Amino acid sequence: MRTLFEPVSLGTLKLRNRLVMSPMTRSFCPTGVPTSDVENYYVRRASADVGLIITEGVWVDHPGASNDPAVPHFYGNAAELAWKKIATAIHAVGGAVIPQLWHVGCYFTPPINGDGPGSLRDDQLGPSGLAGGMGVFPRPMVRPATEREISEMIEAFVKGGEVAYRLGFDGVAIHAAHGYLIDQFFWYVTNLRTDRYGGDVASRTRFATEIIREIRRRTHPEFPIMLRWSLWKSQDYDARALNTVAEMEAFLDPLVAAGVDIFDCSQRRFWEPIFANSDLNLAGWTRKLTGKPTMTVGSVGLNLELFASMTGETCKPASLDRLEEMLARGDFDLVGVGRALLSDPAWVLKVRDNAIDAIVPFSRRSLQRLY
- Active-site positions read 180
What Rg, from alpha-carbon coordinates, does the chain have? Answer: 19
- 281 burial (CB, 10 Å; 0-12 / 13-18 / 19+) is buried
For the residues of 177-212, what is the DSSP string, one character each?
Answer: -BTSHHHHHH-TTT----STTSSSTTGGGHHHHHHH
- Beta partners for 295? 264, 334
Q: Which residues contact 363 (CB under 8 A, 6 or more apart)?
A: 309, 312, 313, 314, 315, 343
Dihedral of alpha carbons 295, 300, 304, 306, sign: negative
**Cβ atoms of 265 and 296 closer than 8 Å:** yes
User: What is d(CA 86, CA 90) in angstroms, rounded to the nearest whole number?
Assistant: 6
Q: Which amino acid is at 149?
A: E
- What DSSP character marks residue 147? H
Q: Which letter does DSSP use for residue 234 in this model? A: T
Cβ density class 219-236: b for 16+ within 10 Å, e for less: beeebbbbbbbbbbbbbb
